[in-house]
Amino acid sequence: MPDERLLHPRFPRSNAYHPEWVMAGISGGANPLWLAEWLTEALDLRPGMRVLDLGCGRGLSSIFLRREFGVAVWAADLWFSASETLQRVRDAEVAEGVFPVHADARALPFANEFFDAVISIDSFPYYGTDESYLNSLARLVKPDGVMAIAGAGLMAELDGPVPEALRAWWEPGMWCFHSAAWWRRHWEKTGIVEVERADSMPDGWRVWLDWHKAVVPDNHAEIQALEADAGQHLGYVRVVARRRADARLEEAVTSVPTEYHRHPLLRGE
């Protein structure tokens, strides 16, 4: 009897991947293949392009990008072992095109304008809300290159207290979640990018709920919050932007030259 776990009519590409393989590579609260498939529907990825998969977790999205689109992927993550990811990459027979890197999103070890695209699946809110972050990331992308994110977010900004339906699950760190409209404004105001798309997944909360019921059915707090909220506040958002060719970017400060000169420490010396 065929294994029908994680089969979803919304994600035909992802359906080809074995559920045991997907569940063995879990690194967060979302199905990285579903989100990667949804995000790439809005992108024009072509074989040979260089892509940074930022906050890739244990590399499932990186393998998906390589297998489905033939791009070369640098799989960067801070929390998970690059060596373990490399084993997964080798087993998937994509080692010639997926390169795991242990890196902090705020200190990425890549040259300016190295990538054709930067993609981030369900991790960007944890480091990308900083007002200055887009500048440091955009430097790594070629002019007219793409920056694209997808993950958990809000359907609209919360102007007051946390809604009753979410209180038992909500934690202070979740205030990094924002709406697609917020991300559009957050990026466009810099003048660095042109936002081509900022939207939410239709019935994304149901997709979120389907994943948790299949993979972590004992996560009662989150499941109950999703069911009670029913998409009023929670769902998946994506943003796709292109680096403006005329954008003036600040260079990264890697060191500040200084020279020590001795002076009296106290007034009486």
- Per-residue pLDDT, 4: 85
In percent, the amount of the chain with pLDDT more than 70 equals 99
DSSP 21-65: HHHHT--SSS-HHHHHHHHHTT----TT-EEEEET-TTSHHHHHH
Closest CA to 58 of 77, 41, 72: 77
Topology of the domain comprising 14-243: Rossmann fold (3.40.50)
Closest CA to 112 of 81, 85, 136: 136
pLDDT in tens, 185-220: 999 999 999 999 999 999 999 999 999 999 999 999
Domain limits, the chain: 14-243
- Per-residue pLDDT, 213: 94
**Site of tokens 């000169």:** 261
pLDDT in tens, 219-254: 999 999 999 999 999 999 999 999 999 988 887 777
What's the predicted TM-score (pTM) here?
0.93
Segment 8-18 mean pLDDT = 96
Report the alpha-carbon distance of residue 226 to residue 165 in Å, rounded.
8
pLDDT in tens, 102-139: 999 999 999 999 999 999 999 999 999 999 999 999 99
Segment 83-99 mean pLDDT = 98
Report the alpha-carbon distance of residue 20 to residue 84 in Å, rounded.
17
CB burial string 218-231: b at 16+ within 10 A, e below: eeeebbebbeebeb
